[in-house]
Chain A
Amino acid sequence: MPVIFRKEFVEGQGCVCFVRLEGDAQTILVSHAENFRLTVEMVADGRSGTVEITFVSPRRNSETRIAMRDQILLRNIRLD
Chain B
Amino acid sequence: MKRAAPRSSARRDGVTIIEVLASALLIFLGLGAIFAMNTQSLEILRSTRLLANGSQVLQERMETMRTRPWPEVANATALATLWRTPAPSERELGGASLTETVIVSVPDTPGGRNVDNTVFKIQRRNGTVTVQRPADLTAQPLLLVDLTIAWQERQQTKQRQLRTIIGRSGLTRSGIFGSAFGRPSPAISRRGRPMKRSRPRHAFTLAEMLIAMVGTSIVIGALLFSSLELQRSLHASETYASSQSDQRRLLDCIARDMRRSIGVATSTAVNGSGGVRLAGSSATIEGRTSLVLTLPGYYQSNTPAAAGYQPLEVVPANNYVDYGTGTEHARECR
Assembly CA distance A35 to B243 (angstroms): 9
Report yes or no: B313 in contact with A39, Cβ–Cβ below 8 A.
no
Assuming the A-B contacts A39-B285, A53-B251, A58-B240, are A73 and B263 also in contact, with contact meaning beta carbons closer than 8 angstroms in the complex? no
Report yes or no: B284 in contact with A36, Cβ–Cβ below 8 A.
no
The number of chain B residues touching the other chain, given as a range, is: 35 or more
Report yes or no: A68 in contact with B278, Cβ–Cβ below 8 A.
no
Q: Chain B's interface: helix, strand, loop or mixed, by majority?
A: mixed
Report yes or no: B255 in contact with A22, Cβ–Cβ below 8 A.
no
Type the 1/0 row for B266-299, where 1 means its CB is closer than 8 Å to any CB of A. Answer: 1100011001011111111111001111111111
Which residues of the partner chain A approach B272 to less than 8 Å between Cβ atoms?
2, 4, 21
Which residues of the partner chain A approach B67 to less than 8 Å between Cβ atoms?
73
Assuming the A-B contacts A3-B292, A5-B285, A40-B285, are A60 and B247 also in contact, with contact meaning beta carbons closer than 8 angstroms in the complex? no
Report yes or no: A27 in contact with B244, Cβ–Cβ below 8 A.
no
Report yes or no: B251 in contact with A7, Cβ–Cβ below 8 A.
no
Report yes or no: B236 in contact with A58, Cβ–Cβ below 8 A.
yes
Report yes or no: B282 in contact with A75, Cβ–Cβ below 8 A.
no
Q: Chain A's interface: helix, strand, loop or mixed, by majority?
A: strand
Instruction: Return A51 CB to nearest CB of chain B, in Å.
Output: 5
Partner of B236, one of A1, A53, A59: A59
B229-255 contacts to A (CB < 8 Å): 232, 235-236, 239-240, 243-244, 246-251, 253-255
Report yes or no: A18 in contact with B250, Cβ–Cβ below 8 A.
yes
Assuming the A-B contacts A22-B312, A30-B249, A40-B264, are A57 and B281 also in contact, with contact meaning beta carbons closer than 8 angstroms in the complex? no
Report yes or no: B284 in contact with A37, Cβ–Cβ below 8 A.
yes
Assembly CA distance A18 to B248 (angstroms): 13
* Chain A residues in the interface with B (C-beta under 8 A): 1-7, 18, 20-25, 27, 29-30, 33, 35-46, 49, 51, 53-55, 57-60, 66, 68-70, 72-78
